[in-house]
Structure 1
Amino acid sequence: MRYLVTGGAGFVGSHVVLALLDAGHEVVVLDNLSTGHRQAVPPNVKLHEIDLLDISATSEVMKQGPWDGVLHFAALSLVSDSMRDPFHYLRQNYITALNLIQNCVEHGIKKIVFSSTAALFGGPERLDPILETAPVQPGSPYGESKYMIERVLSWADTIYGVKSACLRYFNAAGADPQGRAGEDHRPETHLIPLTIDAALGRRPALKLFGTDYPTRDGSCIRDYIHVTDLADAHIRALDQISHNSVTYNVGNGQGYSNLEVIQSVERVSGRKVPWEAAPRRKGDPSLLVADSTKLKRETGWTPKFGDLDKIVETALLWREKHPMGYEK
């Protein structure tokens, strides 16, 4: 099979590219490299450095088919930034996805796997793992932009028969166990790599945003899913959308608090993590944990790296071997 991956030079996208290659598929990447890295794209994979805002340039890539499907990861993804600049986030994420979906319709591409988010459920606090049927109440413009795209995909199915898989995943973390790819954001905002860098003395003391949440230790609780397990879920989702569109929550179903992440990094690295309390960030719910029963039942998916220490171990190995990320 031959697949186009948008945002394939980014964290999750690059790991999905590896999973597709490992499964024997041909892959082409479309990425504007605003947050992705050219070095994250394997040398045997064609990279089109194009912005999805340019609908004509996107169309030229689409003409180079045939394509068996598109996997869409390209997006702005910081909740806190979306709270500061909501219109930019809504415009950028929505229009780029709209351009892509329109091109899929025009070029006869019938399968789309969409990188959605658990930020759709950022409204009222939930104490139980979140099902796909939970009310969608985005707590940020970032989450809202993703839900807007899900609605466009629904209409693309109803009117044009384009089938899609919307994967609402939680906190992607870790790195490729073979060391071929890892996490390298500029700036880095994810808790696990920030905590590792604090332990390694590469950054000042970690800021823990919020220590007064209604959780077991006062810090936020999140469902961390290894990026390789997440990539596997995308591959399995492709097989599910030959006839029907699907929506899946993707996570381990196990919540870990921010303080427990610090403790895990200390166990795995053998180093103390310097940290200090900081005020809560707007848009951050106290608890987000996935119920992935539907995904497991319908696709046979099960996480292979569900243990937090294992996730941290792969992330630590990547950051130790790549102290400057993808830069030499």
Structure 2
Amino acid sequence: MNVFVTGGAGYIGSVCVEELIKAGHQVTVYDNLSEGHRSAVDSRAKFILGHPEKENDLRNAVLSTKPEAILHFAASTLVGESMTDPGKYFHNNVCNGLTLLNAAVEAGVKKFVFSSTCATYGPPDKVPMTEDLPQRPINPYGESKLMFEKMLNWYHQVHKLEFVAFRYFNAAGASEQFGEHHRIETHLIPNILKVPLGQSKQCDIYGTDYPTPDGTCIRDYIHIIDLAQAHMLALAPGKQGFYNLGNGDGYSVRQVIEMCEKVSGTKIPAIEKPRRPGDPPKLVAGADKAIRELGWKPQYPKLQDIVTTAWNWHKQHPNGYSD
């Protein structure tokens, strides 16, 4: 299948591109490299340096590629930044997304797979979280993703564009070749691993008085390759709708630190700090729908496997990507 991937130079996109090519697909990556890295793009993929702010740049890239499917990972994703610069998030995640949708319709694209987020739910009414929960985002990032989900629904009704939208929980881990290198690192595991890499003296724990067994937040971690495999399954004709992606199990901040100590063989000091506003005590995915309807089965559900692959990649790339 001929697949057009936006954001294919980013963390999740790079591994999905790698898995697409392994599965025999022809891939074009469109990325402006504002957050991604040129060296994170699989050498077997065609690369287009994108300028979505230029009129018709994204449209022309889609039309010239003539894709059968689009995987859309390009987004602004920092929750804190979205609270200080909401315009950036609505412009990139909604306006540029609309341009991509219109190009998809014009090019006759048959399938659209969207990288959404559990942030569309906001604080959950129950855990594990299922797809039928109310969606009440509490930041512009989550709101922008929800707006695009609604746009997808209307484009399906009006233009018959078949779509799958995946609401991610905490993507983590690495493939042998590609891993996690963000301009601003907010994810727990890579921040903890900065200590054994010699890049930080300690890690931070935000809140130790939550109603959880050890007082720290519990989150659901999903291996990046398992995430990518779900996208492969979504390309099948007839697959349509919204799906959570997670392991259905959660680990506390202290448990993740302990696992990073075990895997790295290094004692990792932790500094306890106050809670961050808006952090729910527990976020765990109910992913039964993806398992049942897509035939998805995570291959790396154990935290040790996730941390081990992340540690192996960071050891080989202590400063991330060369560019």
User: By the TM > 0.5 criterion, same fold?
Assistant: yes
Alignment of 1:232-243 (within 5 A): 232-239=229-236, 242-243=237-238
In structure 1, what is the Cα distance between the partners aligned to 2:226 and 2:196?
26
Q: CA deviation at 1:263?
A: 0.6
Report the 3-state secondary structure (helix = DSSP H, G, I; strand = E; otherwise coil) of the residue aligned with 1:199. coil
In structure 1, what is the Cα distance between the partners aligned to 2:290 and 2:150?
20
Q: CA deviation at 1:324?
A: 1.1
- Does the 8 A contact of 2:15 with 2:225 survive in 1? yes
In structure 2, what is the Cα distance between the partners aligned to 1:212 and 1:199?
27
> Residue 26 in 1 paired to residue 26 in 2?
yes
Q: CA deviation at 1:84?
A: 2.5
- Aligned residue pairs total 323
- Does the 8 A contact of 1:35 with 1:186 survive in 2? yes
Q: Which amino acid aligns with 1:189?
A: T
Calculate the aligned-residue CA RMSD, in Å. Answer: 1.4
Aligned to 2:147: 148
Q: CA deviation at 1:141?
A: 1.2
In structure 1, what is the Cα distance between the partners aligned to 2:191 and 2:62?
37
> Residue 313 in 1 paired to residue 308 in 2?
yes
Aligned to 2:181: 184
Alignment of 1:13-52 (within 5 A): 13-52=13-52
Alignment of 1:44-63 (within 5 A): 44-63=44-63
Unaligned runs of 5+ residues in structure 2 are: none
In structure 1, what is the Cα distance between the partners aligned to 2:246 and 2:292?
14
1:207 to 188, 200, 204: 204
Q: Which amino acid aligns with 1:134?
A: L
- Does the 8 A contact of 1:37 with 1:326 survive in 2? yes
Aligned to 1:289: 284
Aligned to 1:219: 216
Report the 3-state secondary structure (helix = DSSP H, G, I; strand = E; otherwise coil) of the residue aligned with 2:146. helix
Alignment of 1:99-110 (within 5 A): 99-110=99-110
Alignment of 1:123-272 (within 5 A): 123-124=123-124, 126=126, 128-176=127-175, 179-239=176-236, 242-243=237-238, 245-272=240-267
- Does the 8 A contact of 1:111 with 1:238 survive in 2? yes
In structure 2, what is the Cα distance between the partners aligned to 1:156 and 1:325?
38
- Does the 8 A contact of 1:55 with 1:99 survive in 2? no
Aligned to 1:4: 4
Q: CA deviation at 1:64?
A: 1.5
Report the 3-state secondary structure (helix = DSSP H, G, I; strand = E; otherwise coil) of the residue aligned with 2:259. helix
Unaligned runs of 5+ residues in structure 1 are: none
